[in-house]
Amino acid sequence: MSSRVLIFGATSAIAAEVARLYAARGARLCLVARNAEKLARLALELPADGVTTAVADFANLGAAEDVVRAAIDALGGVDVALVAHGDLGDQLETERSFAAAETTIVANFTSAVALLIPLANHMESARAGTLGVITSVAAERGRPRNYTYGAAKAALNVYLQGLRSRLFAAGVKVTTLKLGPVDTPMTRTHRKTLVFAQPAAVARGIVAAVDAGAAEAYVPGFWAAIMPIVKHTPERVFQRLPFLSGR
């Protein structure tokens, strides 16, 4: 059972539920997020003697190493680190503006790598630990409605594959968490369908996958049956199916 847990993007609906689960197990937590007010509210829900917090702007790539080092020092080491921040962005805006596309790519790929480099180096040196990283089923197939976001998450998936193999000899586990759509504030403008999961259930799936040391996990698990079909549908067919290729 993990005793020292570090969560980046801790105030998202999903990551906050993960924090509650670990706190209920008696873990010591360091919660890192951008919004100080939300972070303070979350910390108040959890055992005061088991939680430290830090405010960080994940888009400030140059500060990532210092943020990671300070968080690990606050915990006295780290057993599990969860990289949970991200942003869907505005797909149409990313098609009109490179600046908007770059913001989405930084939020979902580059900023994660900036954190993973010092985290991986620390765990490799300690020869212990687990990295959990939230990605998305959107990374499995480029779709007009979210392909900038999906491309960033796809890049992150490939990065994690390489990192997992690199750290294998050191006994460090890397879990890629491929989430389907979740009913959270980030998807508030999306029409909700039966495939939308709830944050608490997704958090339980995340913790279970990390506990198991899974290499990759679809959360919820039914996406493991759906995504191979979506991924391997021939493009000439895919483009004629509005429920897949529509906006």
* Structural domains in the chain plus CATH codes: 4-245 (3.40.50.720)
Residues 6+ apart with CB under 8 A from 238: 141, 244, 245
Per-residue pLDDT at 188? 65
Q: Measured in Å, how far apart are the chain's first and last C-alpha atoms?
A: 43
Averaged confidence pLDDT in the chain: 94
Q: How many CA atoms lie within 13 A of 5 on its CB side?
A: 28
Per-residue pLDDT at 69? 98
> What residue type is 177 in one-letter code?
L
Per-residue pLDDT at 2? 58
Per-residue pLDDT at 186? 75
pLDDT in tens, 67-96: 999 999 999 999 999 999 999 999 999 999
Q: What's the rounded Cα separation, in Å, for the pair 125 and 34?
A: 28
Q: Which two tokens stand for residue 107?
A: 């939020």
The single residue listed with the structure tokens 């990295």 is 131
Per-residue pLDDT at 74? 95
Examine the pLDDT at 191 and tell me if it is beyond 90: no
pLDDT in tens, 30-72: 999 999 999 999 999 998 788 999 999 999 999 999 999 999 9
Q: What's the rounded Cα separation, in Å, for the pair 68 and 70?
A: 6
- 43-47, 219-223, 239-243 — which is least confidently predicted? 239-243
